[in-house]
Amino acid sequence: MEINEKTDDLTDEIINKHIYASSAVGLIPIPFIDFMGVSGIQLNLLRCLAEQYNVPFNKDIVKHLVASLVGGALPVSISPRLGASLAKMIPGPGMAFGAISMSGISAASTYAIGKVFKRHFEEGGTFLTFDPKNAKDFYTQMFNEANNT
């Protein structure tokens, strides 16, 4: 697919929309519901990006790829999300800390996933050619970039 400024802008708009949604779902005060909601938003992000780049989408394959990608960068993305979600179980300050933390971590993770797959699709890749191990460093870089802004 030829990448032009309009395609690039539309792709960034898709990613940003899902970042905002992930951030909002991260505020849900119920542990694990927030975690599952963000996972669903990230799956939808990849469905939308696949559609944008005319890449065949298979929900089951994509779930495994995202789990491998995010799991491969475990200390960077999953551990903080799980910790923030669990903190919501502590009444008062724990709930507030957990909601704020989960919101930011969810947004950063969604940003990183979006950027990883945007680059992969722009290079002509598909879900079948995606290698989570090779993308782990870029995911970590994008997660940290989002977390530091």
How far is Cα of residue 34 from the mean position of the Cα atoms in its chain? 13
Which is nearest to 109 in space by CA: 55, 60, 134, 73? 73
What's the pLDDT score for residue 48?
Answer: 97
Of residues 65 and 93, which shows the higher confidence score? 65
| Amino acid, single-letter form, for residue 85 | S
Lowest mean pLDDT among 4-13, 55-64, 77-86, 127-136: 77-86
Rounded Cα gap, residues 89 and 28, in angstroms: 12
Reported as a single tens digit per residue, the pLDDT across 98-139 is 556 677 888 999 999 999 999 999 999 999 999 999 999 999
pLDDT grade for 16, boundaries at 50, 70 and 90: very high
Kindly list the domain boundaries of the chain, sorted by start residue.
5-147
What pLDDT is attached to residue 77? 47
pTM of the model: 0.82
State which amino acid sits at residue 48: C
pLDDT at 68: 87
Tell me, what's the pLDDT at 83?
Answer: 52
